[in-house]
Structure 1
Amino acid sequence: MILQALCGYYDRFAEANSSEIAPPGYELNSVSCCIVLDKEGNVCDVIDMIDEFEVTGSKGKKEKKRQPRKMITPQQPKRSGSRPEAAFLCENASFIFGVYKDRAGAEYRFKASRDIHEKVLAGLEDEGAQAVLAFYNNRKQGTYLYEGVDTSYFEDGGNIVFLLDGESDFIHNRPEIQAAWNRHLAQRSTEASIGQCLVTGEVLPIARIHGNLGGFGQDKPTVVGFNQDSFVSYRKEKGDNAPISENAAFKYVTALNMLISDRNHCMHMHGDKLLFWAEREAPVEEQAILGLMEGGTSQPDKLLDEVRNREIASILDSLYKGKSPEELGLDPHVRFYLLGLSSNKTRVVVRYFYVNTFGQLVTRLQLHHQDIHIAGPTWEPEHPSINKILIETAVLHKSENVPAPHRSALVRCILSGGLYPNSLYMAMLGRIRAEAAANAKTAINRTRIGVIKGYLNRLSRKSNNKEEAITVGLNKEDKTISYLLGQMFALLEKAQSDALGNVNASVVDKYLNAALASPQQVFPSLLSNAEKHFSKSKKYNIKMRIREIMQDIPSNGYPKTLNAEDQGRFLVGYYHQQQDIYTKKDKLDSKKDDETSKDSDQNHEEGI
């Protein structure tokens, strides 16, 4: 099913004659420089193919970035071992010039490169082919081209292509040379075993080795691979154990690499990759899915005009507010595929694969954002992305510390509408407890509390106990004792702040973990110590509010301990009460500023 969907994605672009996708025998490669040859094979020039552009860095500063140019070139072979196969007309300097760390390796690579070009181009009268053959015949292995050439072009391991002097297109794009390359590929196919393809059902040459995937750092994993003798079965070796035709193997690998390299179809999630695509052309629907998964934090697509970007932003805003795709003129029936991948050195691990309609996906994503939505300050994301949620589980907020199971488990629960992973919930509680002593304000943040709220609400929904559902903001009708204790904790913190101002260690910094573990031991002493602070809290009558809460505490007093779910409710209650306090403070300050401004204007007019 996965490979069939990927082959279908490739066919969709191929049928449209899209320049974005490589035909069989070719692939999209990064090219660092171009060698310009005259008709006698002499080097005329070296052209830098690395593009430089500005990007906005993590701190908002403009930074210059250099990136090799992408172009479709003849497909490079899969290489391993000490005697790798050379590529045709798109290769690095170790093969084209024989510049390598040791003499034996350099001689082997240069000879391998010369041999493949002589084999493919032999007998051609094309001027580009003749120039390349002359270049190899004129070369003295191990030396650079001529004095004055910048060797940095060749030492970074980047790919090199050829251009005939006076021409505008590269030698690998010349029709006669492409025809020769295709004949060479066809000859190799006749040497392959014949079998029934598992993807198409057709009887075709079977791919012995499948292509590598890019985008996984130094790893170049494959989806299908058999590189141990233990995989040999009934004398079938390599790809014969899972017979997929060369044509289908090329299509799915090309489609995967195209999706991975496209930021509009690939989300990078701390080591995993989430690929998604529609069964037909649906750019607005695809942008909507991306925006909902990224929490509306994705940057405008530079390939789209300003009007289209504004349209997509408006659609996302409407979807967050609960509108249906039909109301926005979108097709709810277009089928979407979502594929989660991670690398295990030489293999790709498929984490999940979902197929659903656009309408169903939107419904699940809307439910997710609704469940984790919580009132909070404007500087924190209202709709956190999947990546933002995951990074909140990591020690020191480092990407490499995101637990691997969380990545796929979170996506699965969002796409299925099921319970959030208990491990994710416990990780949020754990990070809050671990970080609160150092800085409670950053530890207890909007994203973490939102996920805790979402977990508890879905758990409550599963138990058909909707009366206990946690609201977006402070709910004075919620009499759950853990929720009330969280509110009281925030009020005690506010009383301390009003009385003493900023202190090195607040009530939350010092007592949060103890309050979560043993409220019966902590709250009586906290209330006793806070009596002298109450009179200083004027804008928010803390003593009265605490008295109201105390009336709802059961007669048997505070609980001895709180279980994991009650600890979450405690934290939500604390956060709700804290936001209510400071929201009212902001409103009072704003009202005071308005009155001051009016008095100033009146005095100014009287002075005139």
Structure 2
Amino acid sequence: MFKELVELGRDLEAQGKLPPVGFYSYTEPIRWVVHIWPGPPLKVWLEEVELNIPRPFDGRTSAIRAHPLADEAGYALGADKQKKGLDKRAAEKHRVFRELLEKFLRSSLVCDPALREAAGWVTEVLEKGLVQGDPRFGEVQSKDWVSFMPEEGPLAGQHLFAHPEVRTFWVVEAQERSAQLDKQGQPIKGECAVCGSFGPLLEKIPLKVKLFSAAPIHSVNADAFVSYLAGRDAFKKGHLGLCFACGDTASRAFNYLSEHPWHRKNLLRDKNKADCLANQIAVYWLKAPAPLQVEDKPIELEDLLNSLGSLMLEELTQKKVQVPPADLAQLDRLLELPWKPGAAGLRLDAYAFYLGVLSPNVGRIALREWFSVSLEVLKENLRHYLQALTLVSPRGDESRPVSIATLAEALDSPEPNFTRSLLRAAYLGYRPSAGLLVKAVPRLRVLWTKGKRDRPDEERQRLEHIQALTALLKLGISYGKEDAVNMEELDFRRCSPPYLCGRLLAVLEEAQQRAANFKLNTTLVDRFYGTASTAPASVFGNLLRLSTLAHLPKVGREVNLMVEEILSRLDEVGGFPRTLNLSQQAEFALGFYHQRAYFRATKGKGKTNESNQNQGGETDEQQV
């Protein structure tokens, strides 16, 4: 992940979307600019401004460490005035600032004579205390940021700290401050794991990254991945060997992703515990060496990324919508169109999709998952995944896939591995975890047996969860199989005993409802779904006798023919199973759901000729 973050950071910096290495966009603006005329006589003018531009950064908190040619007034000018009292460390801060300025002037990295001359003017201004003679100096607070600007020569009107050679000097200086030291106090040197350059290796990255709170990023604490930078106690000290430039670039790129709504999704979040490992946040982005075309038309990469991330709609309890979510059906349609690079000589596998799932913890961030997949492979993976998740609605009026956030809410489980299993299936093409069926089957059983809710909003949510859980079961039993499309809605050809048993229970419930003119709030499903879905042979005999006596004589020919057709097929495949295993219970649930949705879709539309569905497999008299 570090390598990909560094590549992203360099691209963003080249586009002007990130500050340079070692620079940071502070919340506090530059409040004062010291304008310098070399003379003679040497003159200054203190101008009050409000400039929000990136400045040097080394993660300074309470330690006294200066930045070159731009810093707080306590450092740059020795100003000690504060809102409450005086800054007692202002003199020490100013001494450190001037020492860094002298080090800068001695550095072999400073080759521009105009820069060296202008920095010399700053030194002379500070030695003579000229700024303190400005009538506005009394307004300067110790925490106000100050910059220096020459008003003559090649650099006139430019902030000196923004000069390229100042940036180069600062990277070297910041690397020295952040280096891991040996027992003799010397920097440990080695090859950077990302760029391969030889030099001091970081002890820690100064710029922290933000999920909910700030923390530094480090390498994985596993023996297989460490450089033994801090010794052989790898489990505790598994730092990845990075140079300052790569570590800082990775952190800046990470923060860009984390702060950008196009690149971040909160998959699971405990709002009472921001630094809890149960929280899961996805950050994702595209590697695109050239524009991309879909069906010979250019597509904005932001739009494509929004579509690819639509599977991960944020947790449904979050009310604030930051960006318009892409519709999953829209993504499904997009996947059916041809994609190709917008530049000659490129293949689709040169484009990549990256995704990391992270969890915050006190003082660190844990990387739970890392996906790196070419767009060519990703396109097929997503197509198969959405195909396996697409299911007709409970009303039978439309078929659509379900987002991972909806699936997670329907599962009602704090287990974070379920969400990550779905992400692996969607983006990497892995088979869904068997644990999803273990959780979804009993959860769905509870929703069916508790029956219809009195409040409309609660009933609507129950049906949404039923659809999501049934889609999850379909994913578990049909992913990667050819019949995934056929299982989107009622499949009249399917002769699997569990599927037929599920259909039969739905038909018997329909007969009960029709016999009572749909005035029942409680049906046989509330009482018998659990047993019928686990041990069909033990319950269907009694249900058929009850229905034959009380319900079927009142409902006409359509439902009776359907019962006969299902029983005939069950006889052909060996009758009612004694017990059903977990995957068979999932297939039972699918048959039950399909048949129910079919009834609701055809309600009030007259009889439907089942022979059309069976493509000649049944007689014309069998109309359902």
TM-score by length of 1: 0.68
| Structure 2 SS opposite 1:333 | helix
* CA distance, structure 2, for counterparts of residue 423 and residue 414 of structure 1: 16
Q: Tell me the CA shift for residue 18 of structure 1.
A: 1.9
Residue pair 1:208, 1:240 contacting (<8 A) in 2 also: no
| Structure 2 SS opposite 1:554 | helix
Q: Which residue of 2 aligns with 1:524?
A: 541
The answer to whether the aligner puts 1:323 opposite 2:337 as a matched pair is yes
Q: Tell me the CA shift for residue 446 of structure 1.
A: 2.6
Q: 1:382 to 1:134 in 2, by over 3 A?
A: farther
Q: Which residue of 2 aligns with 1:27?
A: 24
Indicate which of 64, 69, 73 corresponds to 2:54: 73
The answer to whether the aligner puts 1:477 opposite 2:466 as a matched pair is no
* CA distance, structure 2, for counterparts of residue 133 and residue 518 of structure 1: 93
Q: Which residue of 2 aligns with 1:428?
A: 440
Deviations 1:369-407 (A, max 9, x none): 112222225898813223333333224xxxxx3x21123
Q: 1:430 to 1:121 in 2, by over 3 A?
A: farther
Q: Which residue of 2 aligns with 1:178?
A: 162
Q: Tell me the CA shift for residue 365 of structure 1.
A: 0.7
Deviations 1:242-268 (A, max 9, x none): 321111112222222222323333343
Q: Which residue of 2 aligns with 1:350?
A: 367
Q: Tell me the CA shift for residue 564 of structure 1.
A: 0.4
Alignment: residue pair count: 510
* CA distance, structure 2, for counterparts of residue 117 and residue 571 of structure 1: 72
Q: Tell me the CA shift for residue 195 of structure 1.
A: 2.7
The answer to whether the aligner puts 1:187 opposite 2:173 as a matched pair is yes
* CA distance, structure 2, for counterparts of residue 239 and residue 41 of structure 1: 51
* CA distance, structure 1, for counterparts of residue 437 and residue 328 of structure 2: 31
The answer to whether the aligner puts 1:209 opposite 2:204 as a matched pair is yes
> 1:56-71 to 2 correspondence within 5 Å?
none
Q: 1:223 to 1:536 in 2, by over 3 A?
A: farther
Which residue identity lines up with residue 469 of structure 2 in the other structure?
R
Residue pair 2:29, 2:53 contacting (<8 A) in 1 also: no
Q: Which residue of 2 aligns with 1:456?
A: 477
Which residue identity lines up with residue 421 of structure 2 in the other structure?
A
Q: Which residue of 1 aligns with 2:113?
A: none
Flag structure 2 segments of 5+ consecutive residues without an equivalent: 36-43, 73-78, 103-118, 149-156, 180-186, 222-227, 269-279, 293-298, 315-320, 453-461, 608-624
> 1:12-411 to 2 correspondence within 5 Å?
12-14=11-13, 17-28=14-25, 31=27, 73-74=54-55, 76-78=57-59, 138=138, 175-179=159-163, 183-190=169-176, 192=179, 193=187, 194-212=189-207, 214-224=209-219, 232-233=230-231, 242-270=240-268, 271-282=280-291, 284=299, 286=301, 287-295=303-311, 316=331, 318-320=333-335, 322-326=336-340, 332-345=348-361, 346-376=363-393, 377=395, 382-395=400-413, 401=414, 403-411=415-423
Q: 1:502 to 1:548 in 2, by over 3 A?
A: same
Q: Tell me the CA shift for residue 331 of structure 1.
A: 6.2
* CA distance, structure 1, for counterparts of residue 328 and residue 586 of structure 2: 33
Q: 1:468 to 1:509 in 2, by over 3 A?
A: same
* CA distance, structure 1, for counterparts of residue 484 and residue 281 of structure 2: 35
Q: Which residue of 2 aligns with 1:150?
A: none
Q: Which residue of 1 aligns with 2:275?
A: none
Q: Tell me the CA shift for residue 204 of structure 1.
A: 2.7
Q: Which residue of 1 aligns with 2:428?
A: 416
Q: Which residue of 2 aligns with 1:604?
A: none
Deviations 1:460-505 (A, max 9, x none): x4xxxx6898522211111111101111121222223331534443
Q: Which residue of 1 aligns with 2:467?
A: 446
Residue pair 1:474, 1:573 contacting (<8 A) in 2 also: yes
Deviations 1:405-459 (A, max 9, x none): 1232222222332321111222221321233333565276333222211221237
The answer to whether the aligner puts 1:491 opposite 2:507 as a matched pair is yes
* CA distance, structure 2, for counterparts of residue 189 and residue 429 of structure 1: 55
Q: Which residue of 2 aligns with 1:575?
A: 593
| Structure 1 SS opposite 2:217 | coil
Q: 1:554 to 1:469 in 2, by over 3 A?
A: farther
Deviations 1:130-180 (A, max 9, x none): 9799999858999xx9xxxxxxxxxxxxxx97799xxxxxxxx96223346
Residue pair 1:118, 1:133 contacting (<8 A) in 2 also: no
Indicate which of 561, 577, 580 corresponds to 1:544: 561
Q: Which residue of 2 aligns with 1:168?
A: none
Residue pair 1:37, 1:131 contacting (<8 A) in 2 also: no
Residue pair 2:8, 2:253 contacting (<8 A) in 1 also: yes
* CA distance, structure 1, for counterparts of residue 341 and residue 34 of structure 2: 62
| Structure 2 SS opposite 1:517 | coil
* CA distance, structure 2, for counterparts of residue 485 and residue 240 of structure 1: 56
Residue pair 1:294, 1:387 contacting (<8 A) in 2 also: no
Indicate which of 538, 548, 551 corresponds to 1:533: 551
Residue pair 2:286, 2:352 contacting (<8 A) in 1 also: yes
Residue pair 1:428, 1:452 contacting (<8 A) in 2 also: yes
* CA distance, structure 2, for counterparts of residue 515 and residue 570 of structure 1: 9
Q: 1:5 to 1:448 in 2, by over 3 A?
A: same
| Structure 2 SS opposite 1:272 | strand
Residue pair 2:22, 2:174 contacting (<8 A) in 1 also: no
| Structure 2 SS opposite 1:294 | helix
Q: Which residue of 2 aligns with 1:57?
A: none
Q: Tell me the CA shift for residue 581 of structure 1.
A: 0.8
Instruction: Give the structure with the larger helix fraction.
Output: 1
CA RMSD of aligned residues (A): 5.1
Q: 1:552 to 1:245 in 2, by over 3 A?
A: same
Q: 1:209 to 1:442 in 2, by over 3 A?
A: same
Deviations 1:320-345 (A, max 9, x none): 4x333259999633320423231251
Q: Tell me the CA shift for residue 364 of structure 1.
A: 1.1
Residue pair 2:215, 2:365 contacting (<8 A) in 1 also: no
Q: 1:483 to 1:87 in 2, by over 3 A?
A: farther
Q: Which residue of 1 aligns with 2:8?
A: 9
Residue pair 1:38, 1:44 contacting (<8 A) in 2 also: no
* CA distance, structure 1, for counterparts of residue 508 and residue 465 of structure 2: 16
| Structure 1 SS opposite 2:368 | strand
Q: 1:471 to 1:215 in 2, by over 3 A?
A: same
Q: 1:444 to 1:44 in 2, by over 3 A?
A: closer
Residue pair 1:496, 1:533 contacting (<8 A) in 2 also: yes
Q: Tell me the CA shift for residue 565 of structure 1.
A: 0.7
* CA distance, structure 2, for counterparts of residue 439 and residue 163 of structure 1: 70
Amino-acid identity (%): 16
* CA distance, structure 2, for counterparts of residue 328 and residue 532 of structure 1: 67
Residue pair 1:372, 1:454 contacting (<8 A) in 2 also: yes
Residue pair 2:58, 2:207 contacting (<8 A) in 1 also: no
* CA distance, structure 2, for counterparts of residue 133 and residue 578 of structure 1: 86
Residue pair 2:311, 2:328 contacting (<8 A) in 1 also: no
Deviations 1:246-300 (A, max 9, x none): 11112222222222323333343221314132142447374335414415979xx
Q: 1:384 to 1:327 in 2, by over 3 A?
A: farther
Q: Which residue of 2 aligns with 1:562?
A: 580
Q: 1:467 to 1:214 in 2, by over 3 A?
A: closer
